[in-house]
Chains A and B, each alone.
Chain A
Amino acid sequence: MRFEDRTVCVAASGSDAGIACALNYLAEGAKVVLYYDEPERVASLENDRLKLVRIQDFKDAAELISTGEEIAREYEKIDVCVAAITRPDSDKGIDMSEEEYQEMLKTISSGTLFFIQPLLKNMMDHDYGRVAIVMSLAGRINLPGVSPAYAAANASLGGIVRNIGSTAGVHFVTANAVAVGPLSDGSYQAGTGDVQGIIKGHEVGTPEDVAKACEYLTSELASWTTGEILDLNGGRFMI
């Protein structure tokens, strides 16, 4: 049990990646708090060490902050925080309306920030923490057909991990991201080109691949890895 006695908060929206993370941490002995906004994704989850927290709107900073403060009071010590908040890309590209643009940015970028912010204070207060953010490959390289809003929202997550890494490192808190291509559950699909991986028999990443990468980055021994982005895309990033 690699995470026994650890409390992990996961935010899952728009993908099963966060759900897979929660299940993996439970299997490794952690207490898990799972933020969700899609009841169907969590319908079958049941565990004595799992607390489900319904979020009405990941764009609502006030809701995320008050929820985080409540969780921090209830658990006293938060050790790990994983944000896997995404939305499907739009096929309208540059013709997105301002409303759609704001929806994308505020859900992915602001949702991630305000999920982490109140929990980070708790981590800094007890001088230990691991933050992992799941982002799209579209935030790392240009993918043909990807909307500017999706690319911007995902690229912004890299800025968040570097900022947390450099400001919270003094409190032994590390922050890193996992940049993924399209996953087998249909999430993180971006653009119109072929973005599959090149590993024979494993051309498409899975939510479980993401969960294992997050486990690696949030382990106690990952204490010297911070401000980095792990490109988990089956080799697509090279091409």
Chain B
Amino acid sequence: MSTEFIIAAIVTIVGLTTPILLAALGELVVEKAGVLNLGVEGMMLMGAICGFGATVSTFNPWIGILGAAAGGALSSMLFAVLVLELNSNQVATGLALTIFGTGLSSLMGLSYVGFIAPVFGSIFPASLASDPYLKVIFGYSPIVYFALAMVPIVAWFLKSTRAGMILRAVGENDLSAHSIGYSVKGVRYAAIAFGGAMAGIGGAYFSMVITPMWAEKMTAGRGWIALALVVFAGWRAGRLLVGAYFFGILMALELYAKAAGFSFLPSQFWAAMPYLMTVVALSVISMRDRSGGNAPACLGKPFLPST
């Protein structure tokens, strides 16, 4: 295997991983605040269409990214109002959000079918971005660096900032957080909006970077993978990065195994690998660490203060 080959493979893996990583980071924060939002797929689609629409309307991908974040965050607010104000069931509301996002993005996208946008690619000079070796560092869309930067930022925020501590307190014990005067709802609104924005940017990675176009349901189920990765990571940002790339590598492996003509196993085996190995890997991790990760204690439960 040549260096060029490995570098090209890394570039592919980064492309496969980035959108899932973004959406999963957002969902991680949401879940840390004690809310389970299963609407990631819907929010990603809303981000994909809003990002694409904003880009082709303004010819400015940066505005596109803002549009994607806004699209994801706005659609997440629908979920937030329902689960926070009206205490609706989080699992069902999240699934309804996915149906809603799928439908609305398709409807909004009707007028964008067949449009193309310039790729929101590397902003480094071509001598760096297209160099067969250096592209492994410089050859990515700004969204990739943003996603990677957000990993330590989220980790630091949750661990070391006051706001992060409050957020975790709200997720671990909403009633006592409430009793010492924190706004449980306020924190959760913010977390859900952040999760929506991140999912939206993740969705926009599809419609602005990988294949700069709009197509119905173009996220093809990646939102569900993001949900699973949060669990895989045991609600830790660092491990999320590892998990997302682990999954991305396995997804790439499927394609390499098929393209290289590995015929000693049925092709379905390679396609099942990422999912199977995620289960196996988490099982092995759990064998050593029986805590089951640090799932927030209030995850998915309604907040019902007595006063």
Q: Do A and B come from one complex?
A: no
Residues of A within 8 A of B (CB): none
